[in-house]
A and B are shown apart, each in its own frame.
Chain A
C-alpha cells in the first residue's frame, strides 16, 4: 500500500486508517519519500520538518490504537502556505525580511487542524507576502508547475497548488486575496476554494489586505475540500471580522445531489480575451450542467471592468498599512547601515522587501496620501459597493455563477515578470468575488492539447458554501480531472 499512499485523497487515507490498512507513520513516510523524489523539480516546499511530522504521526497512531481517534483527518497530512503561523516553525512569507522569523503561536486554523489530529507539515512557497500571480516573486526561488516545469504554477499560493498536484501532500492550505487560491488551483489542475469572507479565521495569517484575505483548502477532489473546510471554519473571537455563522456539515451535504438550479454566465466575463482552449473546456463543463438538468442563463455584471483598478487600489492601500509592521525593530531583518530610527525603517525595508512588495506598498501609500485619498482610495471603496450590488442583483436570478478561473492556462516562467499590468490581469475573473466577499472555487475541467490543466470557476452566494460545494461536486464526481497525476 505504501507505494500508492501519496496518490490517495484525504478521504481515502482516512478510510484506510479507519480500516487499519495503513498507519499515520506509513502515510507520513510515503509523503516524505515523495517530496524527496520530486520536490527538487517542483520546489513547492520552502521548509520541511520531517522529524516533527513523524512525531505527530506517531501520536496519531497511538491515539487510534487506544480507540481515541479524533475524526476523519486524524493522521492525514496538511501542508501549509508560508504565511500561516505554526508554533515553532519558520514563517518567511517568501520574504528576506522574515528570513529568521519563527512563529511563537499557532494560527486558529492550525489549532483546529491539530485538534482534528491532522499532521501539520512543511512551509509552502508563494509570491512574497502573497503578492503575485505566478510564485515567481518568492525571495527563495520560483515553484515550477508539475504539469510543465517551464511554466508557472500560478500564485500567490503556487506552492500549495503544486504540492497537491505533485502528490507531495493530499491537502494544503493557501490564502486568497484576489484569486491566490483559485488561480493556482486552475493552473495546477487541483481543487482550490476561497470561503465567504469571515467563515475562516484570519488570526495567525500574515495579513496582506485584511478586508479581502481568506484562508482556504487545496485538494484533489471537491469532497476533500469539504473535509478540510469543515475543520478550519467557524467563528473565532480572536478575529473581529470572523462571522458568527453556524458551520454546516459540508461533507454530509455532498451526499445530496443539487436540485435543478439556475446557473449564470456573466456576459462581461465571457467577452474578455479568453484563450481558445480554455473557452472550449469551460463550455464543455457548462454543457455538462445543462445535460444534468440545470438551467443556464446569461447574466450581466456591468461593473466587471472596474474590478481590477478597484482591487489594486484597495489591496495596495491595505497592504501599505499592514506591512508597516515589518519595520526592522521587533521581529524582522534590521539593516546594519542604519544610523537613526527612520533609517532603520527605510533601509531595513529597502533591503528586506522584494520588488513587487515595494511597488505595492508605495502604490498603496500614494492612494492613501493627502490629496489623493478621495480620488483613489475612497472612490475605489464606493465602486466596490457597485461591484457588490452587481452580484446581489445577479443572485436574485441565479443560484451560482460559472466562469473560467483564469483567462489562460499556465504561462511560461518570466513571460509576465516585467509587466505588472499583464500579471494583474491574470486575476480578472477571480478578484471581484473577493471584493464582494463571496465564496468561490476552482474545479479542474480538463487539459489543453499541450497537457496543461484548466479550471472552472464557480461563484456561490455568501455563507452558502454547502450549495457551492454541491454544484462543484456534481461535476467533479463524474469527471475527476484532479485525480490525474502529472509525470515527474
Chain B
C-alpha cells in the first residue's frame, strides 16, 4: 500500500451513503490524512503466505432445523417504520416514469 494517498471524500461518502456538509468534508480530510498515515505502519509487516483471520474461532456449516417459529405480526414488524400504509413501508418512487 506504500505511501498513503489522499482519499476522495465525496466519492467514499457516497459509497457509504452519508451526506456530509462542506465543513465536515474539510475537517475529515485532515483527520483521514493523519489516520491513513498512521495505518501505513501496516505496510511494513510481512504477511506473505499468512492466512487472513475473519473470526477468532471460526465456525463452519452451522445448521439449523427448518422449523416454523412464531414471528412478528405485520403490526409489530412495522411499529418502528417512519412511514407505512396497508401493512407496508412507504418509500419514495424508485422507478422513473
B17 within 8 A of A: yes
CB of B57, distance to nearest CB on chain A (Å): 6
- By beta carbon, the residue of chain A nearest B65 is A237
**Chain B contact residues, majority secondary structure:** loop
B68 within 8 A of A: no
CA of A376 to CA of B2, assembled, Å = 11
Asked whether B18 lies within 8 Å of A353 as measured between CB atoms, the reply is yes
A378 within 8 A of B: yes
Given A332-B82, A339-B92, A379-B42, A363 contacting B53 (CB threshold 8 A): no
A341 within 8 A of B: yes
**Chain A contact residues, majority secondary structure:** helix
Provide the residues of chain A in CB contact with B53, threshold 8 Å: 381-382, 384-385, 388, 435
- By beta carbon, the residue of chain B nearest A434 is B56
Asked whether B15 lies within 8 Å of A365 as measured between CB atoms, the reply is yes
Interface residues of B in 1-52 (CB under 8 A from A): 1, 7, 9, 12-21, 24, 28, 31-32, 34-35, 38-39, 41-43, 45, 47, 50-52
> Chain B interface residue count: which class?
35 or more
Given A385-B52, A385-B53, A350 contacting B18 (CB threshold 8 A): yes
CA of A273 to CA of B89, assembled, Å = 53
Provide the residues of chain B in CB contact with A388, threshold 8 Å: 53, 56
Residue in contact with A365 in the complex, picked from B16, B41, B51, CB distance below 8 Å: B16
Apart from A333-B82, A351-B19, A435-B53, 20 more pairs, CB < 8 Å: A104-B77, A104-B79, A196-B57, A197-B56, A211-B56, A308-B38, A338-B92, A349-B17, A358-B24, A359-B28, A361-B18, A362-B12, A375-B43, A382-B50, A382-B52, A383-B47, A383-B50, A388-B53, A421-B35, A435-B56
Binding site for A on B (CB under 8 A): 1, 7, 9, 12-21, 24, 28, 31-32, 34-35, 38-39, 41-43, 45, 47, 50-57, 59, 62, 64, 72, 76-77, 79-83, 89, 91-94
